[in-house]
Structure 1
Amino acid sequence: MTSAVRLIRSDALADAPYAYAATAPAGSRLIFLAGACPLEDDGTTTAPGDYAAQAERCVETLKDALAAAGASLTDIISTRVLVASTRQQDLVTAWDVIHAAFGTHDVPSTLLGVTVLGYDHQLVEIEAIAAVAGEES
Protein backbone atom coordinates (compact mmCIF):
# COMPACT_ATOMS: atom_id res chain seq x y z
CA MET A 1 0.00 0.00 0.00
CA THR A 2 1.26 3.49 -0.83
CA SER A 3 1.60 5.95 2.01
CA ALA A 4 -0.67 9.00 2.12
CA VAL A 5 2.20 11.02 3.60
CA ARG A 6 4.10 13.39 1.29
CA LEU A 7 7.47 14.60 2.58
CA ILE A 8 8.40 18.17 1.70
CA ARG A 9 11.93 19.45 1.15
CA SER A 10 13.23 22.86 0.13
CA ASP A 11 16.50 24.00 -1.40
CA ALA A 12 15.96 27.28 0.47
CA LEU A 13 16.65 25.51 3.79
CA ALA A 14 19.82 23.95 5.17
CA ASP A 15 20.47 20.33 4.20
CA ALA A 16 19.21 18.06 6.99
CA PRO A 17 18.80 14.28 7.42
CA TYR A 18 15.00 14.65 7.50
CA ALA A 19 12.22 16.39 5.59
CA TYR A 20 11.28 19.82 6.91
CA ALA A 21 7.53 19.26 6.56
CA ALA A 22 4.99 16.63 5.59
CA THR A 23 1.40 16.62 4.44
CA ALA A 24 -1.43 14.13 4.03
CA PRO A 25 -4.41 14.61 1.73
CA ALA A 26 -7.86 15.62 2.92
CA GLY A 27 -9.76 12.59 4.11
CA SER A 28 -6.71 10.96 5.65
CA ARG A 29 -7.14 9.33 9.04
CA LEU A 30 -4.67 10.69 11.59
CA ILE A 31 -3.19 8.37 14.21
CA PHE A 32 -1.73 9.98 17.34
CA LEU A 33 0.60 7.54 19.06
CA ALA A 34 1.58 7.58 22.71
CA GLY A 35 5.30 7.76 23.30
CA ALA A 36 6.92 4.46 22.31
CA CYS A 37 9.01 3.36 25.28
CA PRO A 38 11.81 0.78 25.59
CA LEU A 39 9.83 -1.70 27.64
CA GLU A 40 10.08 -5.47 27.51
CA ASP A 41 6.96 -7.65 27.55
CA ASP A 42 7.31 -8.08 31.33
CA GLY A 43 7.35 -4.29 31.84
CA THR A 44 11.04 -3.93 32.61
CA THR A 45 13.14 -1.36 30.82
CA THR A 46 15.32 -2.63 27.97
CA ALA A 47 19.09 -2.41 28.40
CA PRO A 48 19.52 0.20 31.17
CA GLY A 49 22.33 2.61 30.23
CA ASP A 50 22.32 1.68 26.51
CA TYR A 51 20.93 4.48 24.32
CA ALA A 52 21.17 2.50 21.07
CA ALA A 53 19.45 -0.62 22.43
CA GLN A 54 16.67 1.46 23.96
CA ALA A 55 16.18 3.37 20.70
CA GLU A 56 15.91 0.06 18.84
CA ARG A 57 13.31 -1.24 21.30
CA CYS A 58 11.35 2.02 20.97
CA VAL A 59 11.23 1.52 17.20
CA GLU A 60 9.94 -2.05 17.69
CA THR A 61 7.28 -0.76 20.09
CA LEU A 62 6.33 2.00 17.65
CA LYS A 63 5.97 -0.53 14.81
CA ASP A 64 3.68 -2.70 16.96
CA ALA A 65 1.49 0.28 17.90
CA LEU A 66 1.29 1.36 14.26
CA ALA A 67 0.33 -2.17 13.15
CA ALA A 68 -2.47 -2.21 15.73
CA ALA A 69 -3.80 1.00 14.12
CA GLY A 70 -3.45 -0.34 10.57
CA ALA A 71 -0.31 1.63 9.72
CA SER A 72 3.45 1.28 9.33
CA LEU A 73 6.57 3.44 9.66
CA THR A 74 6.04 4.91 6.18
CA ASP A 75 2.71 6.32 7.35
CA ILE A 76 4.33 8.47 10.03
CA ILE A 77 4.02 12.18 9.31
CA SER A 78 6.21 13.49 12.18
CA THR A 79 8.16 12.37 15.23
CA ARG A 80 9.56 13.78 18.44
CA VAL A 81 12.47 11.84 19.93
CA LEU A 82 13.15 12.36 23.63
CA VAL A 83 16.52 11.37 25.08
CA ALA A 84 17.31 11.61 28.78
CA SER A 85 20.75 13.19 28.57
CA THR A 86 22.56 16.51 28.46
CA ARG A 87 25.24 15.02 26.16
CA GLN A 88 24.72 15.67 22.46
CA GLN A 89 26.48 12.40 21.60
CA ASP A 90 23.83 10.42 23.50
CA LEU A 91 21.12 12.15 21.47
CA VAL A 92 22.99 11.37 18.24
CA THR A 93 23.41 7.71 19.26
CA ALA A 94 19.65 7.32 19.71
CA TRP A 95 18.89 9.37 16.58
CA ASP A 96 21.18 7.28 14.38
CA VAL A 97 19.30 4.09 15.31
CA ILE A 98 15.89 5.67 14.77
CA HIS A 99 16.86 7.42 11.54
CA ALA A 100 18.23 4.15 10.13
CA ALA A 101 14.98 2.34 10.98
CA PHE A 102 13.00 4.85 8.91
CA GLY A 103 15.24 4.43 5.86
CA THR A 104 14.25 6.77 3.04
CA HIS A 105 11.07 7.85 4.88
CA ASP A 106 12.93 10.63 6.68
CA VAL A 107 9.97 12.36 8.34
CA PRO A 108 10.11 15.77 9.99
CA SER A 109 11.53 15.13 13.45
CA THR A 110 12.49 16.96 16.58
CA LEU A 111 15.30 15.56 18.75
CA LEU A 112 15.29 16.72 22.39
CA GLY A 113 17.48 16.16 25.40
CA VAL A 114 15.34 15.95 28.53
CA THR A 115 16.03 15.60 32.22
CA VAL A 116 14.12 12.40 32.93
CA LEU A 117 11.60 10.05 31.34
CA GLY A 118 8.74 8.15 32.94
CA TYR A 119 10.09 4.64 33.58
CA ASP A 120 13.02 3.53 35.75
CA HIS A 121 16.23 3.55 33.69
CA GLN A 122 14.41 4.86 30.60
CA LEU A 123 16.65 6.87 28.27
CA VAL A 124 14.67 7.11 24.99
CA GLU A 125 11.06 7.68 23.89
CA ILE A 126 9.54 8.31 20.44
CA GLU A 127 6.30 10.26 19.97
CA ALA A 128 4.70 10.05 16.52
CA ILE A 129 1.75 11.05 14.38
CA ALA A 130 0.79 8.95 11.36
CA ALA A 131 -1.66 9.45 8.50
CA VAL A 132 -3.35 6.77 6.41
CA ALA A 133 -5.56 7.20 3.37
CA GLY A 134 -9.31 7.00 3.83
CA GLU A 135 -11.56 6.64 6.80
CA GLU A 136 -11.32 3.99 9.50
CA SER A 137 -13.26 0.88 8.55
Structure 2
Amino acid sequence: MTDAVRLVRSSRLSSVAEYAYASAVSLRADRLIFAAGACPLDAEGNTVAPGDFAGQARQVMDNLETALAEAGAELTDVLKTTVYVASANQADLVSAWEVVRDRFGKHDAPSTLLGVAALGYDDQLVEVEAVAAV
Protein backbone atom coordinates (compact mmCIF):
# COMPACT_ATOMS: atom_id res chain seq x y z
CA MET A 1 0.00 0.00 0.00
CA THR A 2 1.31 3.43 -0.86
CA ASP A 3 1.46 6.21 1.70
CA ALA A 4 -1.38 7.86 -0.22
CA VAL A 5 -4.05 5.47 1.09
CA ARG A 6 -5.15 5.26 4.72
CA LEU A 7 -7.97 2.93 5.78
CA VAL A 8 -10.18 4.35 8.52
CA ARG A 9 -11.82 2.24 11.23
CA SER A 10 -14.11 3.31 14.07
CA SER A 11 -14.50 1.83 17.52
CA ARG A 12 -17.96 3.40 17.60
CA LEU A 13 -19.27 1.32 14.67
CA SER A 14 -19.94 -2.41 14.51
CA SER A 15 -16.95 -4.65 13.92
CA VAL A 16 -19.17 -7.08 11.97
CA ALA A 17 -18.32 -5.45 8.62
CA GLU A 18 -15.43 -7.17 6.87
CA TYR A 19 -13.90 -3.92 5.66
CA ALA A 20 -12.81 -0.51 6.86
CA TYR A 21 -15.63 2.02 7.06
CA ALA A 22 -13.78 4.72 5.13
CA SER A 23 -10.54 5.45 3.36
CA ALA A 24 -8.61 8.65 3.03
CA VAL A 25 -6.23 9.70 0.30
CA SER A 26 -3.28 11.94 0.91
CA LEU A 27 -2.99 15.04 -1.20
CA ARG A 28 0.48 13.69 -1.96
CA ALA A 29 -1.07 11.04 -4.22
CA ASP A 30 0.06 11.47 -7.80
CA ARG A 31 -3.00 9.92 -9.38
CA LEU A 32 -6.49 8.66 -8.72
CA ILE A 33 -7.43 5.62 -10.77
CA PHE A 34 -11.05 4.84 -11.54
CA ALA A 35 -11.33 1.25 -12.74
CA ALA A 36 -14.35 0.34 -14.83
CA GLY A 37 -16.35 -2.59 -13.58
CA ALA A 38 -14.22 -5.70 -13.99
CA CYS A 39 -16.24 -8.47 -15.61
CA PRO A 40 -15.84 -12.27 -15.66
CA LEU A 41 -14.54 -12.37 -19.23
CA ASP A 42 -11.55 -14.32 -20.51
CA ALA A 43 -9.07 -12.92 -23.04
CA GLU A 44 -11.35 -13.97 -25.91
CA GLY A 45 -14.35 -12.16 -24.41
CA ASN A 46 -16.17 -15.27 -23.22
CA THR A 47 -18.02 -15.25 -19.90
CA VAL A 48 -16.15 -17.54 -17.48
CA ALA A 49 -17.93 -19.93 -15.10
CA PRO A 50 -21.60 -19.44 -16.08
CA GLY A 51 -23.83 -20.07 -13.07
CA ASP A 52 -20.92 -19.98 -10.60
CA PHE A 53 -20.82 -16.83 -8.45
CA ALA A 54 -17.47 -17.65 -6.82
CA GLY A 55 -15.90 -18.75 -10.10
CA GLN A 56 -16.91 -15.52 -11.78
CA ALA A 57 -15.68 -13.49 -8.82
CA ARG A 58 -12.23 -15.12 -9.18
CA GLN A 59 -12.07 -14.12 -12.86
CA VAL A 60 -13.34 -10.63 -12.04
CA MET A 61 -10.59 -10.15 -9.47
CA ASP A 62 -7.95 -11.44 -11.90
CA ASN A 63 -9.18 -8.90 -14.45
CA LEU A 64 -9.33 -6.09 -11.88
CA GLU A 65 -5.74 -6.77 -10.82
CA THR A 66 -4.66 -6.69 -14.47
CA ALA A 67 -6.44 -3.39 -15.13
CA LEU A 68 -4.98 -1.82 -12.00
CA ALA A 69 -1.48 -3.03 -12.89
CA GLU A 70 -1.78 -1.50 -16.36
CA ALA A 71 -2.61 1.80 -14.62
CA GLY A 72 0.35 1.42 -12.24
CA ALA A 73 -1.61 0.31 -9.17
CA GLU A 74 -2.16 -2.77 -7.00
CA LEU A 75 -5.05 -4.00 -4.90
CA THR A 76 -3.39 -2.41 -1.87
CA ASP A 77 -3.83 1.00 -3.55
CA VAL A 78 -7.62 0.62 -3.72
CA LEU A 79 -9.67 3.17 -1.80
CA LYS A 80 -13.12 1.64 -2.39
CA THR A 81 -14.89 -1.07 -4.33
CA THR A 82 -18.44 -1.69 -5.42
CA VAL A 83 -19.38 -5.34 -5.93
CA TYR A 84 -22.41 -6.07 -8.11
CA VAL A 85 -24.02 -9.52 -8.00
CA ALA A 86 -26.91 -10.45 -10.29
CA SER A 87 -29.06 -12.13 -7.64
CA ALA A 88 -31.59 -11.36 -4.96
CA ASN A 89 -30.31 -14.33 -2.92
CA GLN A 90 -28.08 -13.20 -0.06
CA ALA A 91 -26.09 -16.46 -0.19
CA ASP A 92 -25.09 -15.69 -3.79
CA LEU A 93 -23.91 -12.22 -2.77
CA VAL A 94 -21.88 -13.69 0.09
CA SER A 95 -20.35 -16.31 -2.23
CA ALA A 96 -19.02 -13.59 -4.53
CA TRP A 97 -18.06 -11.31 -1.62
CA GLU A 98 -15.93 -13.96 0.08
CA VAL A 99 -13.76 -14.25 -3.04
CA VAL A 100 -13.36 -10.47 -3.28
CA ARG A 101 -12.63 -10.14 0.45
CA ASP A 102 -10.08 -12.93 0.41
CA ARG A 103 -8.27 -11.48 -2.62
CA PHE A 104 -7.85 -8.14 -0.85
CA GLY A 105 -6.53 -9.89 2.28
CA LYS A 106 -5.56 -7.49 5.04
CA HIS A 107 -6.24 -4.48 2.81
CA ASP A 108 -9.93 -4.35 3.69
CA ALA A 109 -10.86 -1.18 1.81
CA PRO A 110 -14.44 0.09 2.13
CA SER A 111 -16.83 -1.74 -0.15
CA THR A 112 -20.46 -1.78 -1.15
CA LEU A 113 -22.10 -5.12 -2.02
CA LEU A 114 -25.24 -4.94 -4.14
CA GLY A 115 -27.70 -7.44 -5.55
CA VAL A 116 -28.85 -6.26 -8.99
CA ALA A 117 -31.37 -7.53 -11.54
CA ALA A 118 -28.93 -8.01 -14.41
CA LEU A 119 -25.41 -7.22 -15.61
CA GLY A 120 -24.16 -6.38 -19.09
CA TYR A 121 -22.83 -9.62 -20.58
CA ASP A 122 -24.57 -12.92 -21.31
CA ASP A 123 -24.41 -15.19 -18.24
CA GLN A 124 -22.63 -12.49 -16.18
CA LEU A 125 -23.26 -12.72 -12.44
CA VAL A 126 -20.49 -10.59 -10.86
CA GLU A 127 -18.80 -7.24 -11.52
CA VAL A 128 -16.41 -5.21 -9.34
CA GLU A 129 -15.44 -1.58 -9.83
CA ALA A 130 -12.69 0.16 -7.87
CA VAL A 131 -11.08 3.51 -7.12
CA ALA A 132 -7.37 3.54 -6.30
CA ALA A 133 -4.76 6.17 -5.43
CA VAL A 134 -1.03 6.03 -6.14
Q: CA RMSD in A?
A: 0.9
**Structure 1: segments with no counterpart, 5+ residues:** 133-137
Contact (CA 8 Å) 1:3, 1:74: kept in 2 or not? Answer: no
Q: Which residue of 2 aligns with 1:59?
A: 61
Question: Identical aligned pairs, as a percentage?
Answer: 60
Shift of 1:27: 3.2
The AA in structure 2 aligned to 1:127 is E
Mapped partners of 1:47, 1:95: distance in 2: 16
Per-residue deviation, 1:4: 2.0
Look up the match of 1:135. none
Give the structure 1 partner of residue 10 of structure 2: 10
Shift of 1:24: 1.0
Number of aligned pairs?
132
In structure 2, stretches of 5+ residues that fail to align are none
* Residues 81 and 125, structure 1, Cα contact 8 Å, conserved in 2: yes
**TM-aligned CA deviation for residue 118 of structure 1:** 0.1
TM-score by length of 1: 0.94
SS of the residue aligned with 2:60?
A: helix
State the match for 2:23 in structure 1.
22
Runs (4+) of structure 1 exceeding 6 A deviation are: none
Letter in structure 2 aligned against 1:8 = V
Paired AA for residue 14 in structure 2:
A
Mapped to 1, the partners of 2:72 and 2:65 lie a distance apart of 10
